[in-house]
Amino acid sequence: MNPLLESFNTPYHTAPYSRIKNEHFKPAFEFAIEQAKKEVDAITSNTEAPTFENTLEALDYSGGLLNTISKIFFNLNSAETSDEVQAIANEVSPLLAEFSNDIGLNEELFTRIKTVYDKKESLNLTPEQTTLLDSSYKGFVRNGANLNDTDKETLRKIDKELSQTSLNFGQNVLAATNKYELQITDENDLEGLPDGIKEAAKMTAQQKEKDGWVFTLDFPSYYPFITYANNRDLREEISKAYGSKNYKNDDLDNQENVLKMVNLRYQRAKLLGYESHSNFVLEEEMASNPKTVLNFLDNLLAKSKPVALKENKQLTDYANKLDGIETLQGWDGAYYTEKLKQELFSLDDEKLKPYFKLDNVVKGAFEVSARLYGLNFEQIFDIDTWHKDVTTYKITYDNSDLAAIFYADYHPRAGKRGGAWMTSLNSQYIKDGENNRPHIINVCNFTKPTDTKPSLLTFNEVTTLFHEFGHALHGILANTTYPSLSGTNVFRDFVELPSQILENWCYEKEALELFAFHYETGEVIPMELVEKIKESATYMEATRMVRQINFSLVDMAWHTTNPNEISSVGDFEKQAAASTQIYPVIDETNFSTSFSHIFQGGYSSGYYSYKWAEVLEADAFEYFKENGIFNKEIGAKFKDNILSKGGSEHPMELYKRFRGQEPDNDALLKRAGLLVGVNQ
């Protein structure tokens, strides 16, 4: 028997990972695809006239088994992959792309949807039903329903190639990350590094059966090294290794994959009648078109770059005074930023980390959510997971009803891609009067506990944990009827609002006192440190903003330019990033070749959404601040109008219902201190 095809006889119907073997996946996918096809056939062969219920609802509820298997498998491929799992991904991804095209290009199905769509004004639909009808109809049109047979076949080939190329890109990034090691055997080369970082590197070396200390390109290892290591040559080495991932003209090089993907995306957009891939993507986002996005980014850049250049001069003068360095390089930025921060604010991560024990920070995110949204959290131990590091929780409402099952996977390992993300194993939806509750996952890469210390987080990692839990809350509190509109199924430039707003509580005394305890003494974080955290919140903010704009502009350049005009990945990126350049260009580095967000993670023409959503969350948090950060009434409004609604209505309508007005576009600049900075 294949456990993926049985009813999950498990607590809360959770995925039975301990029973699932790799050989179960492909036959399960094949069976589920055939079952999903039969469900669609039942819709198209229905002799009754098309209605919202027998066509739109039926389609949205179809494919449940396939969705479940896909979520279980692709979570594994991201969080605990192997050569065998990656080989399976290469086999099943084309099957899934083909199935998706089979649905999207099904003429009989589209005819039924169009029949309902054409008479929608007379149907008396709810707002959520109207959204489902509109998004379904547009989805078919935007994915080729009106193409002729020859063009439909071309679209199928493009989508299959895109799916495979994206997989190849991601596998290369993971392999290149795992391939590099900086082994240090002379303890003098560790000067400047905190004891906890050295201990972690020693443990990594022991695990790899190496002498001395080993640093890798996993972020919890890489970033502390370039932030604290006094040895400038070694900072340069590891920085260049990080910046040149998949840009070495070897078997893991991603230049060909990048060019192939932007070419295929361009071909696809043109086939569907769009000027570019960005035009296609942005039509269904709040920004609506590339011009709006580029104007938005240019406006931010105009206000932030002059301040960023001042920040860079201040940092260069400091480095020159300290070490005689006349020109700061990329591998100097984090190092001198941290040193100057310590001098200006008497604050550094090593002073803060003892107060941010991972377990306590997790409890803090839970407690903030409990106070705002009436949630209760209980760790449970009878749920299967994909790795022993994963912890599981049952989340309930104050009335004891189940809200969600939550999986937390917080430490790096060889089979896990870098970064941090939220996903789900089971979406929320309501069917036949039953509210199916979600199974939500947070995956991060935080420093592991050592023999002498628990996992202690930098403040940046604290905000990352809250960020991803903000995404999780979008899934946990979902309360929509239809699965395709539930949770984080919203416009890309709206999806970061719930995640980014939760980061704000990390800077507030009332919240910090709930979870920031010294791991040895139990002492609450001193008020002077809380004040320093708040004072330093906008330190080098313009530089950080320009960096984000840099990523966003490169993303937009890749997806608004005719690829026939691009001959060199390196030259094109330099040109696209020129307006945001702060540090000297290093010829052997290139971030596009490992830019997983846009070439693997679904953010193509969407990286700008982080800054776009920051405008929303800065304005939204101001509303909380005006009324108290734990104000239950404002919390309820945010839950009822944002978190629970998913994509059931246009996001601006949801936002105005929460806030009572459209967002103030200057809210982000005010908070960052950039409006003041420009006027000075």
For residue 278, give both structure tokens: 């960005």
Q: Are 170 and 600 in contact (CB under 8 A)?
A: yes
Nearest to 105 by CA among 159, 51, 30, 61: 159
Percent of the chain as helix, strand, coil, to the nearest 5:
60, 5, 30
Q: From CA 58, how far away is CA 123, in angstroms rounded? A: 17
State the number of CA atoms in the 13 A half-sphere of 508 facing the CB: 18
For residue 368, give both structure tokens: 């903030």
**Distance of alpha carbon 401 from its chain centroid, rounded?**
29
Question: Given the DSSP bridges, would you call strands 402-409 and 439-443 parallel, antiparallel or unpaired?
Answer: parallel
Nearest to 27 by CA among 8, 9, 63, 2: 2
In the DSSP assignment, the letter for residue 584 is P
Residues with Cβ within 8 Å of residue 280, at least 6 apart in sequence: 142, 268, 269, 272, 274
Q: Is 159 helix (H, G, I), strand (E, B) or coil?
A: helix
**Distance of alpha carbon 574 from its chain centroid, rounded?**
25
Beta strands across the sheet bearing 375-380: 375-380, 391-397, 402-409, 439-443, 421-426
Q: From CA 168, how far away is CA 187, in angstroms rounded? A: 39
Quickly list DSSP for 325-381: -SS--HHHHHHHHHHHHHHHHS--HHHHGGG-BHHHHHHHHHHHHHHHH-EEEEEES
Question: Given the DSSP bridges, would you call strands 182-184 and 434-436 parallel, antiparallel or unpaired?
Answer: unpaired
Of the listed 468, 541, 617, 649, which one is catalytic?
A: 468
Q: CA dist 370 to 376, 434, 436, 586, 617, Å?
A: 6, 24, 21, 47, 20
Q: From CA 241, how far away is CA 248, in angstroms rounded? A: 10
**23 classed as catalytic:** no
State the number of CA atoms in the 13 A half-sphere of 288 facing the CB: 4
Nearest to 465 by CA among 400, 516, 425: 516
Q: Match 């903010």 to its residue by tokens.
A: 541
Is the Cα torsion angle 27, 32, 35, 41 positive or negative in sign? negative
Q: From CA 382, how far away is CA 405, in angstroms rounded? A: 12
Q: From CA 234, how far away is CA 225, in angstroms rounded? A: 9
Q: From CA 42, how far away is CA 34, in angstroms rounded? A: 12
Q: From CA 375, how far away is CA 472, in angstroms rounded? A: 13
> Which residues, listed in sequence order, are joined to residue 402 by a DSSP beta bridge?
396
CA angle 302, 303, 306 (to 5 degrees): 80
Residues with Cβ within 8 Å of residue 97, at least 6 apart in sequence: 156, 159, 160, 162, 163
For residue 243, give both structure tokens: 């910046």
Give catalytic residues, as residue numbers. Answer: 468
